[in-house]
């Protein structure tokens, strides 16, 4: 019985960090998308042009998160 509990605990300890990493990456991805949309909406509000910093940071954050997710998927397989 103790052996079985120990094995399930080890499985849980392996799964929980992955869940937290995936959740934080998803949050970062949506933050990047939100920054990108914010930069584009800022461009619609004023005539000076696109807020380049917001768009660049948003796109790079979203792409970085996608790359990290792909790396994690490759490591898990």
- Mind listing the pLDDT tens digit for each residue in 31-66? 888 887 877 777 667 766 667 777 788 888 888 888
Q: Is the pLDDT of residue 1 over 70?
A: no
Question: What is the DSSP code string of the chain?
Answer: -HHHHHHHHHHHHHHHHHHHHHHHHHHHHHHHHHHHHHHHHHHHH-SS---HHHHHHHHHHHHHHHHHHHHHHHHH-
Is pTM beyond 0.95? Reply is no
Per the structure, the count of domains in the chain is 1
Q: 69: domain range?
A: 25-77
Flag whether 17 is in a domain: no
Flag whether 56 is in a domain: yes
Flag whether 10 is in a domain: no
Flag whether 38 is in a domain: yes
């Amino acid at each position: 019985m103790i052996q079985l509990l120990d094995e399930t605990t080890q499985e849980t300890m392996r799964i929980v960090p992955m869940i937290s990493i995936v959740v934080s990456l998803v949050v970062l991805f949506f933050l990047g998308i939100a920054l990108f949309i914010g930069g584009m909406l800022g461009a619609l509000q004023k005539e000076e042009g696109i807020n380049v910093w917001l768009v660049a940071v948003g796109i790079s954050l979203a792409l970085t998160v996608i790359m990290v997710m792909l790396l994690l998927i490759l490591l898990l397989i």
